[in-house]
Amino acid sequence: MRTPEELTTLFRGTGRKVTPQRQRIFRALDNNLRHPTAEGVYGDIVVDMPTVSLRTVYQTLAELTELGEINKIDLGTGSARFDPNVEPHHHLVCDDCGAIRDVTANTTEVRVPSHQRGGFRVEETEVVFRGRCRDCLSKSSTGE
């Protein structure tokens, strides 16, 4: 994802409105490795910008996705998540707390056998590793 300043220029250059709320959303996503939900982004910014609406957050995330600046992903955690890392990568997902981490892994050997594709053309491969994160593992070992 581009920097907040570059996103401001991009939005203006494509005829989109640039408001203080949108600029704050850009900053909330900048280097955000948590893969936030729309509600999470809203919760992060409403504290210091009470005039922002959840609708504005959803609309801005949709436009950033449309522009290819973020990826909207569904990893089975109950809500769509937004990933500012648009480079090819995969994810580690904690089945207990829902935490998500990026992981770079070589998946070039992952193939769907041609006899099972039924005319389907594979254009992209995404691998999701599921398990339990360090924090959840330590909680279970201490009996919490």
Residue ranges for the known binding site for Zn(2+) are: 94, 97, 133, 136
Which CA distances in Å does 121 have to 44, 113, 117? 40, 11, 7
Listed residue (89, 77, 82) closest to 124, CA to CA: 89
Compute the distance between CA of residue 131 and CA of residue 97 in angstroms, rounded to an integer: 10
Binding residues: 94, 97, 109, 133, 136
Binding-site residues for Fe cation sit at 109
CB 73 within 8 A of CB 37: no
